Amino acid sequence: MAELKNEFRNVLLDSILFLDIETVSQFADYSQLDESTKLLWGKKAQRLIEEGKSVGDIYSKAAIFSEFGKIICISVGYLKLQGQMRTLRIKSFYGDDEKKLLIDFNALVSKYFNTNDHYLCAHNGKEFDFPYIARRTLINGLPIPSCLDTRGLKPWEVKHFDTLELWRFGDYKNYTSLETLTHVFNIPSPKDDITGAQVGEVYWKDKDTKRIATYCQKDVIAIVQLFLRFKNERLIEDNDIVYAEI
């Protein structure tokens, strides 16, 4: 942990790729699963079932498990520094074709953020975003970029920052949401349109992946701003954010 803290204090802001992902269940409805998958989902979902609910009723929760869900959006942000000028560049990879968006995202990280001097950063990324991307990459038959392939590495060899972990200061008793931390630090909330719980409905019913990508980008901006506050750096102004077309 001491090694990570030193890296946090000394890290160059333009060496970090900030990211967030949005995921949904692999199918719109439980009835579309084949019998083998229904059986396996039933085993997985047992601990999630609330009173009066069935494994089918809670199928939307499949989104949080890489074996039963899929990625529909990865949004990224990186800081470009020029003297005292700082620009935050935002880009999203999104759509129905998970394999294509993974190919495009993995190509970006492999080309620009895949050396020992680069880092990835997400909120709860070590528990969710980073392993989810790696697992879905494998499931889609693709090579994992080395910055995401943490198998066999020692903790201090993993070049990942996690704003949830940084906020804990070693206290692992509870989870603090990104929404809560943006409120505490007076950062504009990313939840001003939809929430994570609504992503599945917006995807399967409304077919609005662009709206989901916009929501995901707001999460990335919030993570960047939170990271800057953790380092006692000034926040990025709205007019210093550059968006790739979505």
Across the beta sheet with 160-162, the strand order is 160-162, 119-122, 16-25, 69-82, 85-94, 241-243
* Lowest pLDDT segment from 6-10, 43-47, 118-122: 6-10
pLDDT higher than 50, residue 206: yes
Q: pLDDT tens digits for 149-189?
A: 999 999 889 999 999 999 999 888 878 999 999 999 999 77
Dist. CA 145–CA 159, nearest whole Å:
12
**Which whole number is the average pLDDT over 111-122?**
92
pLDDT at 73 exceeding the cut of 50:
yes
The mean pLDDT of the chain is 92
pTM to 2 decimals?
A: 0.93
Q: Which residues pair with 25 in a beta bridge?
A: 69
Domains contained in the chain, CATH given: 2-26+68-243 (3.30.420.10)
User: Given a cut of 70, is residue 246 above it in pLDDT?
Assistant: no
Q: Is the pLDDT of residue 190 over 70?
A: no
* pLDDT given for residue 49 in this prediction: 82
pLDDT at 230 over 90: yes
Helix ranges, the chain (H): 2-10, 35-45, 98-112, 129-139, 163-168, 178-184, 199-204, 209-230
Tell me the helices (H) and strands (E) count for the chain, helix number first: 8, 6
